[in-house]
Chains A and B, each alone.
Chain A
Amino acid sequence: MSLDQLYQQIILDHSKVRHGSGLAGTDAPEGATTGQSHQLNPVCGDEVTLRVAVADGKVTQVSWDGAGCSISMASASVLSEMAEGMTVPELHQVIDSFRDVLRSRGKIAADPELLGDAAAFEGVARYAARVKCAMISWVAAEDALNQAA
């Protein structure tokens, strides 16, 4: 497997653009309930604090602060972009599917219909040392979602 299959364009793009990045200054939408989760990977120091806002059963905002490698940052960015507008059960379903793919060691193919841009992280599953990088913001989102909804 080549480096370009791991670092797909979508990943390199999102690692620079970082959708949803910046907790300070982004107040949660009015009337929404929020949940926030901080996750740390002690092995490499990757860190994400992610907040989910939910109103009327839908995710209205995902904001985060983080420091880490391109895969962890891109993963948080993709998650933030695609989660907004989903219902709570829909986001749970996407998180579950993403986790299944990432922990499959490459045995489960990503469903592009369900995972959208997050399917680009499929290649990460073959790099055991990098799975946590891709997962860290999704673990935070699941925790935050459970608090908010």
Chain B
Amino acid sequence: MAVVSTPPTLERALPVMDNAEVLRIRNDFPVLDQVVNGHPLVYLDSGATSQNPLSVIEAEQEFYEQRNAAVHRGAHHLAVEATEVFEDARQTVADFIGAEYAETVWTSNATEGLNLLSYAFSTAGLWAAQGRGDAGLKELALKPGDEIVVTEMEHHANLIPWQELAFRTGATLRYIPVDDAGSLRMDVAAEVIGNRTRVLAFTHASNVLGTINPVTDLVGLARRAGALVVLDACQSAPHLPLDVKALDVDFAVFSGHKMLAPTGIGVLYGKQELLDILPPFLTGGSMITTVTMERAEYLPAPQRFEAGTQRISQAVALAAAANYLTETGLARIHEWEAGLGQRMVAGLESIPGIRVLGPAAGQERIGLAAFDVDGVHAHDVGQFLDSRGIAVRVGHHCAQPLHRKLGLTATTRASAYLYNTTDDVDQFLDAVAGVRAYFRA
């Protein structure tokens, strides 16, 4: 896969990850060291939210103990220090995804990033109609007859903002279907993505199926159609080497809490020339040049999209998380987790009455597996696993259309991270094997 770039020289020198290294890594995550319902905690819900290493917790604590102040204002010592670490954090996270500093916008999470884009696009139409802003905004405005394309495997966060953008602009929302093996129908994609397509938004890796989508091929189709590309990197940025420039996407979003950082911080990446002309989503302090009683002029990106006092300690903590992942090596993490994903699927497929969603064993997938247990509702599966100290996600995983397509309302999902051992997966599999007997299915 082109998405997994060649590891940096330093990383290549490191051996592949093994259980011994994972056990050392676990020492950095105090929350994992606890007993749940009489069993040592097995945390397999990192796809929903990940745990924080001490270096992240300490980065946030250190900020509050030594530097807390509002950034970009005030001439005092603490304000200068806070601004410095806040902007250093931006550079660290920009480097983490191969972006430039000014192309890296802080958001609350990926959901906010996608809503920001949705509203910026419709406001671009309003501005262009009144001759406001850059002349290039005309190219970004959507109108009836234009099309927005998503996929059938999207998380609601990368679906509903586009439904609403279509509603506001009169554009049409179309989608690329998923086949029985959990892959996008690329033959259909080539039909759906055409001259009317203005925006193509898709997930890098599915939070339900585990599929890694062919970004290069999809970007190629979008380029041919003259469409902008929005990448949901929520399940990729935390788990594999991500280079937004190499992938040549126009925008990308991800959430900090899925990559060892606290909640409340996320990132929107956008190409500089696009971010600098897009109208802002939230307006207010810190994002303006001049304000009169009638109107305001706005700063270029990233401040253009950062109204109000920012999530400063969270940004600092996200940078610490990015450093933790970089030091461990994302290509190594990806390889380890992919192995855990294969172990899950192979094990689940050998248990009678289990249907695994997405790619079969041996086919590429990230380190997660969602499945249906014949005759047992996902809530009951989750409860049974919890009684063994195993944390998984149950429900539709914010992907109702995908579940409907698969004929299911709720499934159980186990998702691994760099702190999970093969023993975690085996305990999970052992517990799943006992579910149907307990519920007499």
Contacts and interface: CB of A to CB of B under 8 A. Distances in A.
Asked if A and B are interacting partners, one says yes
Interface of A: 2-3, 6-7, 12, 15-16, 43-47, 67-71, 127, 130, 133
Given A44-B378, A69-B377, A127 B383 contact: yes
B410 A44 contact: yes
Chain A binding surface, main DSSP class: mixed
B395 interface: yes
Contacts, number: 46
Chain B binding surface, main DSSP class: mixed
A65 to B, nearest CB: 14
Given A3-B387, A45-B395, A68 B377 contact: yes
Contact of B379 (A3, A16, A47, A130): A130
B253 to A, nearest CB: 24
B410 A45 contact: yes
15 contacts: A3-B383, A3-B384, A6-B383, A7-B439, A15-B439, A44-B379, A44-B394, A44-B409, A46-B379, A68-B377, A69-B378, A70-B377, A70-B439, A71-B380, A127-B383
Interface string B378-399: 1110011001000000111000
Given A70-B377, A130-B379, A43 B395 contact: yes
B24 interface: no
Nearest to A3: B387
A69 B379 contact: yes
A67 B394 CA distance: 15
A7 B439 CA distance: 9
B76 interface: no
B379 A12 contact: no
Contacts of B439: 7, 12, 15, 70
Given A12-B440, A44-B379, A45-B410, 6 more contacts: A3-B383, A6-B383, A44-B409, A45-B395, A45-B400, A130-B379
A133 B379 contact: yes
A133 B382 CA distance: 14
B409 A67 contact: yes
Contact of A69 (B380, B396, B400): B380
B230 to A, nearest CB: 26
A60 B344 CA distance: 50
A121 to B, nearest CB: 14
Given A69-B377, A69-B379, A133-B379, A16 B395 contact: no
A16 B380 CA distance: 14
Contacts of B409: 44-45, 47, 67
Nearest to A16: B440
Interface in B409-441: 409-410, 438-440
B378 to A, nearest CB: 7
Contact of A70 (B380, B387, B395): B380
A45 B396 contact: yes
A130 B378 CA distance: 12
